[in-house]
Structure 1
Amino acid sequence: MVSIPVDRMTLREKLEIIDLLWSSISSENSEEVSPRWHGKELDRRLKRVDTGESVFEDWDVVKRELQELSR
């Protein structure tokens, strides 16, 4: 296991590490990055959208509604 002194790193250094890790992960075999069950769950959720069980809301509308609730 690699030990990285995260508590002594600057925010910029932490973000650079995240970027390096993501670049490395995204170039690997997609099955290892995204397990099969992720695909099955996405299919399940898409079916719920198709049947009307789940719906999408416009993000700007949702934000506006939340702001009104907090007043």
Structure 2
Amino acid sequence: MTAIQIEKLSVTEKIQVMESLWDSLCTHADNINSPAWHSEVLQQREEMLNDGTDTFIDWNDAKKDIRNQLP
């Protein structure tokens, strides 16, 4: 499917395609390797949690913060 074909889809159809892609990726997740930087970022974040320079926030609060940052 090309970008032009995707652009012609309705929102509902786009969501269905996205869900199909996600399902396919999840089915074959064992074959997907995370990039090297991902492990490094996770390690840095764990260290920040352990030394108290970072904390978790409630998911609903995080979504509100993200929405407030959008134009």
Q: 1:30 aligns with which of 29, 32, 48?
A: 32
Query: Any runs of at least 4 consecutive aligned residues in structure 1 with deviations exceeding 4 A, and if so which?
Result: 59-63
**What 5-or-longer segments of structure 2 have no aligned partner?**
65-71
Alpha-carbon offset, residue 61 of structure 1: 6.0
CA RMSD across the alignment: 2.5
Q: Which has the higher helix share?
A: 2
Length-normalised TM-score, structure 1? 0.65
Q: How does 1:1-71 map to 2 (within 5 A)?
A: 2-4=1-3, 5-28=5-28, 29-31=31-33, 34-59=34-59, 63=64
Q: Per-residue deviation at 1:24?
A: 1.4
Q: TM-score, normalised by structure 2?
A: 0.65
Identity of aligned residues (%): 28
Structure 1 stretches lacking a partner, 5+ long: 64-71
Report the number of matched residues. 61
Deviation, structure 1 residue 45: 0.5
Per the TM alignment, residue 40 of structure 1 is displaced from its structure 2 partner at its CA by: 1.9
> Is the radius of gyration larger for structure 1 or structure 2?
1
